[in-house]
Amino acid sequence: MARILSVDPISRIEGHLKIETEIDSGTVTGARVAGNMYRGFERMLLGRHPVDSARIAQRICGVCHEVHGVSSVMALEEIYRVTPPENGVVLRDMILGLHIVTDHMLHFYNLCLPDYADLSVAATYSGNDTRLKDIAGWMRGSGTAFISGAAEGDYIKDRETVYRLALNYFEALKIRSEAASGLALLGGKVPFIHALLPGGITTEITADTLMKYYHVLEKTADFVNNSFLPDALEIARRYPQYFKIGETYNTFYAHSSFKNSKGNNLFNAGVIIGGEKRKFDYAKVKELLSASFYDNSGKPDENRKGAYSWIKAPRYEGYPLEVGPVARFAVNNDAGFKSVLSRLGVSSITSSTMSRIVARAYESVILCNYLFERSEDFRLDEPTIRPVDLQAPISGQGIGFSVAARGALVHHITAEKGKVTDYKMIVPSTWNFGPAADGKAGVVEKAITGTPVRFGGEGGSIEVGRVVRSFDPCTACSVH
Ligand code: NFE
């Protein structure tokens, strides 16, 4: 007989997400994913001067604030009809790229790794390594969830591996914090960069600033190459079954991003449906509301019949699409990622729990390489901004097609005489975590369905947790 397993809220993610699964004979036969909060940023921006949006919209999320600033500023630049000087674009790329790498590190080590490794084993360390002694002492003393409360499951427990992973868990936090100071040097502050304006970046960049950025980039790249990618590959080798678990519709969507000085993109835009690549056409995107707590005009309606989530359901010509690093690689049929997968015995870029985990680590490697090159394009004697009148009573429409760690991001601003009259964001986690619509399950709902469940008591099923967390959920963003 089928049983219902409900986890609310699911831990180690951003925001409040409820996962409800129906399990029959040890397999998930149906799933509902519900965003359980409302933010209202699109409504909050109405009536304000459009320039305010690049500051306010960053507050959507404490994890990926920069991305909302950049997308918003790109939309504003269309309204102002201004193109930033090359230095302004280089700085944005340097900010976005380093942010995405450290966001991927946070996901892998601090949010997702406890699904695979029993880090509490590190509490038993009794050797002479002072760093491990510190970690063991802290774990034994604090009674954290490392020691108790983890869901039942098939975890890595061999000491040497856990010791290494536990060290890297903490090292990742340190590197992320140093990288944040590198981002603050370029963006004025972190979180919530305030140097981002339509026309470029206001920060005064000196040779010293660039050296400091370069220094944190080197440290980050060193960690990514020598720890992050090897650790992600180790998890992939130990859990190969997860290349077959967590598959979505294999429909993908990505924007172009990270141009170099020769005008080539690291990632090109596109949509993949039925294995075919198509040109992305924004007019084909619709947010469906039948299972979301909004009325047909988009106003919040907590009593809507049939609704179960505060997340809307974006569709492209009716198709739910997966976004994120795997989507970026799939749309670009990326040879490097295919070669990484083939060394793991996987013959093509397809959606799965483990392909998402490996994609983030590999993307971090290529982003670091890109950032070394990109920072060379900065010219100390040239401007970083083409200033505009920030109080001008501007009118018009602008759309910022940008990139975030979790996928393609759109900020769409309509303004009339210096006031926002409509603000629409189509956000990565909305694509992945949106509910069912028109009889089609949402992307993550589809991924969870079919998951074999061996463990699954009161704390939830570790297998379902692995599938859900492989998308790096951000409910704060998804409900914006
Ligand atoms: Ni709040 Fe975000 C990213 C955006 S997720 S983390 O990456 O945009 O939708």
What are the DSSP calls for 161-181, one per residue? HHHHHHHHHHHHHHHHHHHHH
Q: What is the pLDDT of residue 66?
A: 94
Asked if the model's pLDDT at residue 456 lies above 80, the reply is no
Q: What is the pLDDT of residue 148?
A: 72
Residue type for position 5: L
Task: Determine whether the shortest distance from the Cβ of 13 to ligand 1 is under 6 A.
Answer: no
Residue type for position 193: I
CA 124 to ligand 1 centroid distance, Å: 37
Tokens 């936090």 correspond to 173
Ligand 1: atom nearest CA of 430 is 9
For residue 403, count other CB atoms closer than 10 A to its CB.
26
Q: Residue 45 carries which DSSP code?
A: T
CA 93 to ligand 1 centroid distance, Å: 17
Task: Determine whether the shortest distance from the Cβ of 429 to ligand 1 is under 6 A.
Answer: yes
CA 336 to ligand 1 centroid distance, Å: 25
Among protein residues, the one whose CA lies closest to atom 6 of ligand 1:
64
Q: What is the pLDDT of residue 281?
A: 98
Contact 468, 453 (CB under 8 A): no
Residue type for position 53: S
With bands split at pLDDT 50, 70 and 90, how would you rate the model's confidence at 261? confident
Across residues 442-468, what is the average pLDDT?
91
With bands split at pLDDT 50, 70 and 90, how would you rate the model's confidence at 331? very high
CA 105 to ligand 1 centroid distance, Å: 15
Contact 125, 132 (CB under 8 A): yes
Exposure b/e, 338-376, CB count within 10 A at least 16 = b: bebbeeeebeebbbbbbbbbbbbbbbbbbbbebbeebbe
Q: What is the pLDDT of residue 269?
A: 98
DSSP class per residue in 103-149:
HHHIIIIIIIGGGTB-GGGGGG--SS-HHHHHHHHHHHHH--TTTS-
Asked if the model's pLDDT at residue 454 lies above 70, the reply is yes
Asked if the model's pLDDT at residue 1 lies above 80, the reply is no
Across residues 134-152, what is the average pLDDT?
82
Nearest to 231 by CA among 146, 327, 166: 166
With bands split at pLDDT 50, 70 and 90, how would you rate the model's confidence at 459? low
Grouping H, G, I as helix, E, B as strand and the rest as coil, residue 393 is: coil
Asked if the model's pLDDT at residue 150 lies above 90, the reply is no
Task: Determine whether the shortest distance from the Cβ of 14 to ligand 1 is under 6 A.
Answer: yes
Tokens 């099923």 correspond to 461
Among protein residues, the one whose CA lies closest to atom 2 of ligand 1:
64
Asked if the model's pLDDT at residue 34 lies above 90, the reply is yes
Ligand 1: atom nearest CA of 71 is 8
Among protein residues, the one whose CA lies closest to atom 8 of ligand 1:
427
Supply the mean pLDDT for the chain.
95
Tell me the best of 323, 401, 403, 474 to mutate to test the pocket of ligand 1, counting ligand atoms within 8 Å of each CB and taking the most: 474
Note the pLDDT tens digit of each residue in 424-433: 999 999 999 9
Rg (CA), the chain: 22
Q: How far apart are CA 153 and CA 461, in angstroms?
A: 8
Nearest to 247 by CA among 95, 346, 352, 372: 352
With bands split at pLDDT 50, 70 and 90, how would you rate the model's confidence at 88? very high
Q: Which residues contact 171 (CB under 8 A, 6 or more apart)?
A: 223, 227
Q: How far apart are CA 23 and CA 31, in angstroms?
A: 9
**N-terminal to C-terminal alpha carbon distance within the chain:** 38
In whole angstroms, how far apart are CA 13 and each of 40, 69, 468?
20, 22, 9
Note the pLDDT tens digit of each residue in 303-317: 999 999 999 999 999
Rounded (5°) CA angle 149-166-344: 100
Note the pLDDT tens digit of each residue in 265-286: 999 999 999 999 999 999 999 9
Nearest to 466 by CA among 241, 249, 225, 253: 241
Q: How far apart are CA 135 and CA 42, in angstroms?
A: 43
Task: Determine whether the shortest distance from the Cβ of 477 to ligand 1 is under 6 A.
Answer: yes
CA atoms within 13 A on the CB side of 55: 11
Across residues 446-466, what is the average pLDDT?
89
Note the pLDDT tens digit of each residue in 356-377: 999 999 999 999 999 999 999 9
Task: Determine whether the shortest distance from the Cβ of 314 to ligand 1 is under 6 A.
Answer: no
Q: How far apart are CA 371 and CA 50, in angstroms?
A: 30
> Residues of the chain with pLDDT > 90: what percent?
90
Q: How far apart are CA 280 and CA 269, in angstroms?
A: 7
